[in-house]
Structure 1
Amino acid sequence: MLSSDNRKNVAPLDPSDLTIGDLLVALADHKDKPLVFRYDGQPVKPGYHVTEVKAGQFSALDCEANPESWSEIFVQLWDVDEGGPVHMPAGKFSAIIRKVSDHVALDQAAKLTFEVSDGVRPMELHRAAQPSLVGDVVEVELSPRPSSCKPRDRWLKEQKAVSASCCGESRCC
Structure 2
Amino acid sequence: MSNSKMTWQSFKDQLQQHPEQILQFQYAANKLVAPSYHITEIKQAPITSVDCGGKVNAWTEIIVQLWEPEEAQTDRAMAVNKAMKIVDLVERNLDLNPKAIVKIEFGNAAFDTRQMYPKELLLEGENLVVNLQPDATQCKATDRGATCGSPKTKTLEIPVTMEAGQSCTPGSGCC
- Indicate whether the TM-score tops 0.5: yes
SS at match of 1:76: strand
Give the equivalent residue in structure 2 for 1:36. 24
| Structure 1 portions without partners, runs of 5+ | 1-11, 157-173
Normalising by structure 1, report the TM-score.
Answer: 0.76
Amino acid at match of 2:12: L
Distance between the aligned counterparts of 2:25 and 2:143, measured in 1? 28
Paired residue secondary structure (2:46): strand
Distance 1:27 1:62, change over 3 A: same
Identity of aligned residues (%): 27
Structure 2 vs 1, CA of residues 148 and 85 (structure 1 numbering), >3 Å: closer, same or farther? same
For 1:155, give the aligned amino acid.
G
* Shift of residue 148, structure 1, vs aligned partner: 1.2
Aligned to 1:144: 134
Query: Which residue, 61, 67, 70 being the options, matches 2:50?
Result: 61
Greater gyration radius: 2
Distance apart, 1:120 and its partner CA: 6.9
Deviations 1:94-150 (A, max 9, x none): 111111111112101101111111267531111112211111210110111111111
Q: Distance in 2 between matches of 1:54 and 1:136?
A: 28
Relative to structure 1, the CA distance from residue 143 to residue 79 in structure 2 (aligned partners, 3 Å threshold; closer, same or farther) is: farther
What is the aligned-residue RMSD (CA, Å)?
1.9
Structure 2, unmatched stretches of 5+, are 147-175
- Considering Cα pairs closer than 8 Å and 6+ residues apart, tell me whether 1 or 2 has the greater RCO: 1
Q: Which residue of 2 aligns with 1:45?
A: 34
2: CA distance, partners of 1:63 / 1:139: 37
Matched, 1:131 2:118: no
Residue of structure 2 in register with 1:166 after alignment = none
